[in-house]
């Protein structure tokens, strides 16, 4: 009876010629290219500049070094991106990375759990903290900034309660453990790149595909773009907000496990690292937005590597750690400034 949907050709007269609509994106102009891809340009320029400036930069050792350092940041970055797409923020990632790192050694070294169950329980515990974040934000409508700030304190507390503040080696009776450490630390299994880089890259690619090609990705972005309209369109926005925090915590926990694997040990101070701020900065440099609905996985990766290359080249130049932070700050501001300048010209 309601055959509106069955017979698309039935309705009204055929559309007039002038309403010819294409389904593809518009042709790219130089300006739209600059707006959408400025982060990639910055990265390429940085790489070219660094390569000219220092011959060591493009050496395979140095490249592997950069990749190895970014393994965990990539995962946290993708997690933060998904939360930020929904219009939220997650400040608790550092604590959860730390917790992921120490829980694994705690289970294996102190409680003598087999490796695989220990990893699974660790991931579950981290995801549970994310679920608390998500529940408070999505269902109780609390401010993400405050909820995750509180969680970052709680997580940090947990890390020190669990470890008693102790540094611990990853040892245990499970025969898989030496292999796991080998997996984390080995420097040249394939093309001189450690395994965990591949693991991290694999997960990033999976999430890239999820965010770009599935309804979950589409809806997550839509929820952050305009929650009121999306909710009135018959979509349960709470589900997507909730899942974003769970995924972010899960990926953070996984990042922590890879930290432990890479070091063969865990330290509670991992939870005090600059995970949150660096990842948020990377998302934003890659075109993401605090107010939600913007950003992609590939450009988050680009953002993370921009941060990484800057750090690396300054290390090569023997710039001390503290001035490095100032330079990072300048680059962040510059990247955002550049984008807003191009974009404001566009709106004229």
Which residues of this protein are in contact with another protein, per CB under 8 A?
1-5, 8-12, 14-16, 18-19, 21-26, 213-216, 218-219, 221-222, 225-226, 228-236, 293-294
Q: How far is the CB of 36 from another protein (least distance, A)?
A: 12
Instruction: Give the shortest CB-1-to-another protein separation in angstroms.
Output: 5
DSSP letter (8 states) at residue 236? -
- What's the longest Cα–Cα distance across the chain? 76
Structure tokens at 31: 């300006």
Identity of the residue, 1 or 321, whose beta carbon is nearer to another protein in the bound complex: 1
CB closer to another protein out of 81 and 259: 81
Q: How far is the CB of 88 from another protein (least distance, A)?
A: 17
Half-sphere exposure for 81 (CA within 13 Å, toward CB): 32
Neighbouring C-beta atoms of residue 125, cutoff 10 Å = 17
Beta carbon of residue 20, minimum distance to another protein (angstroms, whole number): 9
Exposure string for 276-297, b = 16+ CB within 10 A, e = fewer: bebbbbbbbbbbbeeebbbbbb
Q: Is 341 helix (H, G, I), strand (E, B) or coil?
A: helix
- Neighbour tally for 207: CB within 10 Å: 21
What radius of gyration do the chain's Cα atoms show?
23
DSSP state of 29: P
Length of the chain: 348
Nearer to another protein, 23 or 321 (CB): 23
Quick one: 198 or 216, whose CB is closer to another protein?
216
CA-wise closest residue to 240 among 225, 252, 255: 225
Output the smallest distance, CB 206 to another protein, in A: 11
How far lies 172's CA from each of 111, 114, 165, 175, 284, in Å?
Answer: 9, 8, 20, 8, 41
**Measured from the CB of residue 240, what is the shortest distance to another protein in angstroms?**
12
Indicate the residue among 15 and 55 with the shorter CB distance to another protein.
15
Residue among 112 and 236 whose Cβ is closer to another protein: 236
Q: What count of Cα atoms within 13 Å lies in the side-chain half-sphere of residue 287? A: 23
- Residue number, 82 or 257, with CB nearest to another protein: 82
- Yes or no: say if 327 and 20 are a contact pair by the CB < 8 Å rule: no
Residue with Cβ nearer another protein (88 or 256):
88
- In angstroms, give the least distance from the CB of 6 to another protein: 10
Question: 253 pairs with which residues across the strands?
Answer: none
Q: How far is the CB of 245 from another protein (least distance, A)?
A: 19
* Gap between the Cα atoms of 56 and 60, Å rounded: 9
């Amino acid at each position: 009876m309601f055959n509106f949907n069955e017979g698309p050709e039935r309705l009204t007269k055929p559309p007039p010629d002038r309403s010819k609509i294409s389904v593809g994106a518009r042709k790219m102009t130089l300006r739209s290219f600059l707006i959408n891809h400025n982060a990639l340009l910055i990265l390429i320029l940085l790489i070219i500049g660094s390569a000219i400036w220092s011959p060591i930069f493009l050496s395979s050792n140095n490249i592997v070094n950069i990749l190895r350092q970014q393994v965990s940041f990539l995962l946290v970055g993708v997690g933060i991106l998904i939360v930020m797409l929904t219009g939220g923020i997650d400040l608790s990632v550092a604590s959860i990375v730390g917790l992921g790192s120490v829980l694994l050694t705690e289970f294996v070294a102190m409680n003598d759990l087999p490796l695989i169950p220990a990893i699974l329980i660790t991931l579950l515990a981290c995801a549970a903290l994310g679920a608390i974040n998500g529940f408070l934000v999505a269902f109780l409508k609390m401010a993400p900034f405050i909820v995750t700030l509180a969680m970052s304190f709680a997580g940090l507390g947990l890390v020190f309660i669990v470890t008693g503040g102790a540094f611990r080696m990853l040892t245990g009776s499970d025969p898989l453990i030496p292999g796991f450490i080998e997996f984390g630390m080995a420097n040249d299994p394939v093309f001189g790149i450690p395994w965990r880089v591949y693991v991290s890259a694999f997960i990033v690619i999976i999430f890239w595909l999820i965010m770009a090609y599935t309804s979950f990705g589409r809806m997550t972005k839509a929820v952050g773009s305009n929650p009121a309209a999306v909710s009135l369109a018959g979509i349960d926005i709470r589900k997507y907000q909730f899942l974003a925090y769970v995924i972010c915590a899960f990926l953070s926990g996984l990042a922590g496990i890879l930290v432990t694997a890479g070091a063969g040990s865990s330290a509670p101070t991992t939870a005090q690292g600059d995970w949150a701020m660096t990842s948020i900065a990377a998302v934003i440099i890659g075109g993401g937005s605090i107010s939600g609905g913007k950003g992609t996985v590939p450009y988050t990766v680009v953002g993370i590597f921009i941060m990484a290359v800057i750090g690396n080249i300054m290390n090569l130049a023997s710039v001390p750690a503290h001035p490095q932070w100032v330079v990072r700050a300048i680059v962040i501001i510059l990247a955002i400034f550049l984008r807003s300048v191009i974009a404001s010209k566009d709106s004229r």
